[in-house]
A and B are shown apart, each in its own frame.
Chain A
Amino acid sequence: MEETQRHQRRAALRAAFPATIPVMTGFLCLGIAYGVLMQSKGYGPGWSVLMSAIAFGGSMQFVAITLLTTAFDPIQAFLLSVMVNARHMFYGLSLLDKYKGLGKVRPFLIYVLCDETFSLVSTLEPPEGVAGKDFYFWISLLDYLYWITGTALGGLAGNLITFDTTGLDFALTALFVVLFLEQWKKPENRPAGIIGILCAAVSLAVFQADNMVIPAMALVLAVLLGTRRRLDRSGEEGGR
């Protein structure tokens, strides 16, 4: 019994790892950049790894460097984190069903839910014979470890990297493009995909790069709710 379980878990790891390779590229790259930047402000690898392991906040951690180099203000740090990471709420809403009944691993999956893990988990289905729970667990754990490893490498040895890595973090952009195309395969997903692009583009044009996320989310939400009658076919019985 235990033997087959272990076997199944290993099969899940074999299925999950290739899917996370683009995240590995991007996270090692950005994690190293983060570790180097923290180091340059006098916060060694111990501090940057602690931040990555506990907060696991991606872009918010870069914002937090500003908070670490000014007067102590934890309230502002808290509020800013909520705003910068507000998009996670949409991820949770989308994963209510997939993360249902997963038992002990569920709190961990929620704790480390980030853009990249959400994109993979919501777009990919576990292959035949692999339990969703194990598949999602490995994707989440691997992505989490890539970020921490990158941070540690940056803090410890960031200055040793000599080849030009400019543009390597495009791997994450490419990942989102590919997962967008995977969503696009299903015709019923297309209107929502276009809505996401247009709302974000409008928000970027109006509110500029640093403030685009919250207005873009609000706009996406408003448009999706406004077009629900047209887009929501789940209530129609009999199929067309």
Chain B
Amino acid sequence: MRYCKYCNLHYNTPLDHCLFCNNELTKTNLENSQQMMEQTYLYPEFQKRKNSKRFLLRLYTFLGLIAIITCVYLDLSNHLEKGLSWSRYVISPIAYLLFFMSIITSSKKSIQKIIYLSYLTLLFLVYLGSIGDSSVWSIEFVMPLGLISINITMLFFLLIKKRRHHDYAIYSMLTSIIGMLPIILLFTHRLTYTWPTITCFLYSLTTFLGILIFTPEATKEELKRRLHL
């Protein structure tokens, strides 16, 4: 045991100096070789963490913002009256990558990350299509087929991960509901190619009803939990 004669404190920890007055600690008379052996630190040694992931995210955010501001300035300085044109092709992938990286580095569950990343990618592709001359490929093909892909992925997880069936049933139901939404476009827009949107709607509806019918009790229970007030 160590002792600070200035503060009148006994130390169980093998420090050389007093924590409060910084004077050298003396060994008490009681201290023999066995006690010396026993006197150890009660807590593990602090080790500084290297948070390179966070640093890279910050660096990318910084560089991305600089690139966005520069592009917007250059774009607007040439065609202020037309608004943003080519710079949107630069801004959108930078923003996409930024969101992508923040989702990847977040503490969410893997399945949630997959869902968020899938929808983010889909949104990015649809936006990319919408800023071009023709949005047909993105709105009429990429969006419905992408939503079907997400639904199939969720159904795949639902079927193979029996242990988390309740969770995945809800995720599948949610993706199915989202998959049914593009049908609205059929009524509000004149779509050139209607079959992908109709297929997406029918597939999503089938999945939704399938989950409701084949796992009614489990889904009902999970829904009750998720919606409890």
Partners in one complex: no
